[in-house]
Amino acid sequence: MSNPVKKARQGEKLPLKSRGIQSKTSYDLRRLQSLLIKANPRQEVAALSQSKARSRSQGLHPPPPLKDTSRQRSESDVSSEASELEKFSITYRDQRCFSSHPLHTLFSDILTSLVKNRLCSEWIDHAPPESVLRVLICLRLLIRDPHHQKLLHQLQGISLLARYMESVTAMYISCDEQAFAAQKLVTMTYMFQKLSVVENQRVWVIESGAHRTLVKLLSTTDSSVLLGALLALTTLAESPKCKEEISELPIVENLLVILQEYDLLSKRMSAELLRLLSPVWQVREQVRELEGLPVLLSLLYGQHLKLLWSVAWILVQLCEDADTRTEIRSWGGVQQLLRLLSSDRQYVSDRSSIDALSSANAAGRIQREHIREELSPQEEVDNTVALQSACCTVLTELSLDDTSAHHIVQENGVCIIAKLILPQNSGPKVASLQCYAFRTLRFLFSVERNRHLFKRLFPTDLFELFIDVGHYVRDLAAYEGLQTKVSFYTEEELDSLRESIEAVDQNRPPLKVINGYSILDHLGTGAFGSVFKVRKQSGQNLLALKEVNLHNPVFGKDKKSRDSNVEKIISELTIIKEQMTHPNVVKYYKTFLEGDKLYIVMELIEGVPLAEHFNSLKEKQQQFTEDRIWNIFIQMCRALRYLHKEKRIVHRDLTPNNIMLGEKDKVTITDFGLAKQKQENSKLTSVVGTILYSCPEVVKNEPYGEKADVWAVGCILYQMAALQPPFNSSNMLSLASKIVEAVYEPIEDGAFSERVTDMIRWCLSPDADQRPDIVAVTSRISDIMMRLMDGLYASQNALERRAERDRRRAQRYFLERHRSRTDCSHSNLSQEKSLMNAETLTPHSSAACSSNHSEQTISRDDVSEGDAEACGLKSSACVTPDHIQSGSRPRPVSAGICVSQKKVRQIDDPIQRLLVQLHKIIYVTQLPPAPHHNIKRRVVERFKKSLFHHGSDPYNLKAELSKLLQASPELLELGSTSSDWFPLVHHFTGDPHAADSTGDGNLKDGVTYQQMQGIVEELLEENGYYEATPSRVAEKRSDPENK
């Protein structure tokens, strides 16, 4: 359209021409406005209906004479209006701002007329779909102007639009065929997306209730409608208030389905929407309840940068829950995140914004708009850095859990993350990534067990700054000093830092090999030596190897006494190794001498010492809960009861460093280097162990027994409550006096129940005769143990029921397989008899076979894997049931080879039949999205999802497919509740009472395998599955016989 202002100086004729164009434009707009306001709604609807009916009957009967000339004028106006609306949508399809147009008043009047005279329910509910679509398209073009958006709100147009979108959606989702429904929904979702761009306008959309309809549209399979709803909801969710409103709706399940099964663009937008909603706790709870975590972690294997970035930030929000952090670790999330940080693979991305995608979707050019664009090198670097920063943030949140932090270190996380602090490219995003990496490393350093790595990692000046940041500081600004320090490093200093990073790389070659054990990592150093993580060269299992220096004075001052003591220790360890089997006691495998060192091979405990939990809780200013204290204490008591009463072993060195806590606080007692097996009713006299946890008898150098371990357990119980040992002093004499007299600071009043303090007082009785043994301790807390046992029994019963269910399924599968083999053998015998009869009737020779070869030759290209049921020998002959029944002689495929028909029989492979059935199900679920909601396909998708859900196994898959092949009357177990299953049944049957009218059971609980097989076959017929190849036609013919 010409602009008279721009052409004012182009001569005398041009302004006249421009004024003529403007006049024509003004005339067209005024004519459109007059048509929109001329007829009242009722007259317009009647005229539209008459016009539509007449156009359908034209050509079959002559039009009746018009008695009313006003009706003829009305029909003419309708036709003119359609033409003018079409012209308007073409002329102004690229116009963005109408309020600055010279004819802006006319545009505002047209918008007002469209809302008042067309968007009103009286007209729009009865108008033909094509007319409504034209009106919606013109509205879509006009509200691109921000001024018109406010005008639409003043005219109550947003609520009218929301009400109409709700009615169209209800019919669309219920599979009620309606012309132009998808186009109308795409147009309306675009309008709500545009209205939601401005923050203070989002409340208008929420008040109209449009967000509820948009959430419903997430269940559609039409890609354009789905994308329109996702874009509108994503724009809405940028507002905190709207985010809360959307989160109250059941949106997470639909988003997880999209993330699993839809195209890349839909996945990307679903992930972005879920990222915006995940700060709301209801959404995080839904993700957890619906087992969405495995779905999100599986997306980390993708290649689209924006999708990966959104998923990473979703995980950051989910990490607020401690149980979710544990679940991410157990699902392998740490390895996947570290792989994203360390891999150099090529990613894909695009520059499309939400507004650009929304406009492209409304204009029907989304496929051209969303392509895998070639990004510039700087854009690719920026996007990759943003993804790495997000991954570092997830690892930072996971590090709040000590076990997860240790797991990150074990997976070589320190080396991988430390490489990101090295300056590689210039730019603010790269500097920001260095801060993210420093923060993750600092969180890992906050766990005491990991700190030895960092002493080797950083030079002294950087290490001092690193420590000064403090524990668990989230503010990125606190790490800018570290980033600045590294950025000013010389090339020589950077090389030294790189060498230090490589030194902590756990994937480097073994440090050394000792007696066939490869040393992988140094785990720690104790009073008697060091502990290493090792792997036997002939195997893959990880083990712990304790190295004991025999020159330690504790073993003797001269060689003779050392050899005697070492021999006793090895003998003692051999006894312990052969005897101890308890879930709370470490397993010993082997001891050997090499040089002047003793090596002990033992189980590698994947956990953290209790002492590190104490330090971590103090730094976080947290405490153990009483339930957690009793859980740990009871496991220690169980282990000691086993050692004392069944094996007569005294540990003699029970300390928080020798008690490992694994998953769910599983206790494992380690370090039996000082353990002693004693005779019944005897006493020990050696002064060994850690003095902080030594009992008064040991301090006074008196004989002692098993109650020395009870004293140590009492000290540990006190430390769990107070986070510090009960007896502590820098003066050894003062410390010994406190231990002998049992003088310690009492536990803070009200922190724990009296039961905890009473147990501490009892176990720390200075008189060994008054101190209880381990049996008395356990009897005092028997009720707590029984409560824990009840929980264990409940878990065990649940596991047993699941195992029994799986066993029955496996048994049914094997019985069905045996039955199918038996049936197959019977059918083979009958076929051999038929073939023998056929041979008797029609003798053949190799010459005859050769001469008739051209009639029966089957092309190799025409035989698929699905034809295996009909082929006896793929390379030599083919016999079908049709050949046998007709009595005709089957001819061999090869002209040069003739096989006796006595040796040919039809093979009925049950596994092949299962594969064919599985192929049919997957074929249905991978069909292109249907133009309308297809309930049958939804049912099949639910069935496929139940076959491959988390926790499924091959035996269950085979059993389910076998039932489907045999058309079993049993009900399917789709894992869905009756509340979401019954609507599918109702839509499928079309009868609200159908659920109660079948003899097979209540359809509210599901459908039978027989009905599912019918649904699959109907969908295959509708989509031309059997028309694809001749083999499938043959397969379809043979299906009834196989059944």
Q: Which residues are catalytic?
A: 653
Strand, coil or helix: what is 13? helix
pLDDT score of 732: 86
Owner of token pair 């009200």: 750
Q: In which band, very low, low, confident or very high, does the pLDDT at 2 lie, cut at 50, 70 and 90?
A: very low
Q: What is the pLDDT of residues 563-596, one digit of tens each?
A: 777 776 676 666 666 667 888 988 888 888 888 7
For residue 681, report the phi and psi dihedrals to the nearest 5 degrees.
65, 15
Q: For the domain bounded by 910-1042, which CATH number is listed?
A: 1.10.287.3700
Fold of 513-603: Phosphorylase Kinase; domain 1 (3.30.200)
* Residue 617 contacts residue 723 (beta carbons within 8 Å): yes
pLDDT band at 426 (very low <50, low <70, confident <90, very high): low
Residue with tokens 């030594």: 694
pLDDT of residue 664: 78
Letter for the amino acid at 233? L
Amino acid letter, residue 216: K
What is the DSSP secondary-structure string of 350-418?
A: ----HHHHHHHHHTT-HHHHS------HHHHHHHHHHHHHHHHHHHHHHTTSHHHHHHHHHTTHHHHHH
Query: Which among 261, 159, 279 is positioned nearest to 218, based on CA atoms?
Result: 261
Beta bridge partners of residue 591, listed in sequence order? 600
- Least confidently predicted of 267-281, 770-784, 870-884: 870-884
Q: Kindly indicate the confidence band of residue 311, based on its pLDDT and cuts at 50, 70 and 90.
A: very high
Compare 658 and 554 and report the one with higher pLDDT: 658
400/58 Cα distance (integer angstroms): 76
Q: Which residue has the higher pLDDT, 635 or 40?
A: 635
pLDDT 10s digits, 816-870? 666 666 665 555 555 555 545 544 444 444 343 343 433 333 333 343 333 333 3
Q: Which of 122-131, 199-208, 365-374 has the lowest mean pLDDT?
A: 365-374
- Sequence ranges of the domains in the chain: 513-603, 609-780, 798-903, 910-1042
- What is the per-residue pLDDT for 819? 67
The DSSP bridge pattern shows strands 676-677 and 667-669 to be: unpaired
The type of residue at 664 is K
Could you tell me the two tokens for 234?
A: 């994503």
pTM of structure: 0.62
Residue 667 has pLDDT above 70, yes or no: yes
Q: How far apart are CA 991 and CA 482, in angstroms?
A: 70
- Report for 25-29, 438-442, 678-682, 997-1001: range of highest mean pLDDT: 438-442
Give mean pLDDT, residues 651-677: 80
**pLDDT tens digit sequence for 623-638:** 899 999 999 999 999 9
The residue-averaged pLDDT of 336-364 equals 79
For residue 118, is pLDDT > 80?
A: yes
The CATH number, out of the four listed (2.40.128.110, 3.40.50.300, 3.40.50.11540, 1.10.510.10), of the domain defined by the range 609-780: 1.10.510.10
- Residue 456 backbone phi and psi in degrees, to 5: -90, -15
User: Which of 4-13, 183-192, 334-343, 377-386 shows the lowest mean pLDDT across its residues?
Assistant: 4-13
Residue 429 labeled ligand binder: no
By three-state DSSP, how is residue 547 classified? strand
> Does residue 895 carry a pLDDT above 60?
no
Residue 374 contacts by C-beta under 8 Å, 6 or more apart in sequence?
Answer: none
Q: Which pLDDT value is given to residue 907?
A: 58
Strand partners for 667? 661
Distance between CA 602 and CA 909 in Å, rounded? 50
Q: Phi and psi at residue 892, in whole multiples of 5°? A: -70, 155
Whose CA is closest to 533, among 694, 672, 402, 410? Answer: 410
Tens of pLDDT, residue by residue over 740-799, are 988 889 888 888 999 999 999 999 999 988 999 999 999 998 888 888 888 878 878 877
Rounded to an integer, what distance in angstroms lies between the CA atom of residue 793 and that of residue 806? 19
The 10s digit of each residue's pLDDT in 785-829 is 888 888 878 878 877 887 787 777 677 766 766 666 666 555 555
